[in-house]
Amino acid sequence: MNIDFYLAKHKHLMWKIRLKAFLIGLKDMEEKQVVSHHDCDLGKWLDNFAMNEYKNIEELKKLEKLHIKMHNVVADIVRVKNENNMEEACKLYKMMKAYSDNIIALLDIVDNKLKQIG
């Protein structure tokens, strides 16, 4: 089971844009729309394949941990924004952006390492 790294990064960035639109009031969002880290495409790939097949790739372990943290922060952003706590939502969004940037970088590293493996 392979993953399309370009598509994974694209979907990830689209979620970040969707979340920003939610924060500035262009979109509505409920907590139930934020799937768990197990249910998105990246999470399914990590859980069902990558963490078993490529467990020796250190960046993959980092990716998994960051991915979990990011999903938790996204759920918190939606919750606190819907509670009208915009200040906290913006703080959390900055945290999520840092996680997101690191996830994109780790996806690139993992992609390159897997290409080397063949």
pLDDT tens digits, 19-39? 999 999 998 888 877 888 999
Supply the pLDDT for residue 86: 96
Supply the pLDDT for residue 24: 94
Question: How confident is the prediction along the chain (118 residues), in pLDDT tens digits per residue?
Answer: 788 999 999 988 998 999 999 999 998 888 877 888 999 889 999 999 999 999 899 999 999 999 999 999 999 999 999 999 999 999 999 999 999 999 999 999 999 999 998 7
Supply the pLDDT for residue 2: 82
Specify whether the CB–CB gap between 45 and 3 falls below 8 A. Answer: yes
- Tokens standing for residue 41: 């495409």
- Identity at 117, one-letter amino acid code: I
Q: Which residues fall within 8 angstroms of residue 13, CB to CB, at 6 or more apart?
A: 100, 104
Supply the pLDDT for residue 30: 83
Tell me the pTM.
0.90
Domains in the chain and their CATH numbers?
5-117 (1.20.120)
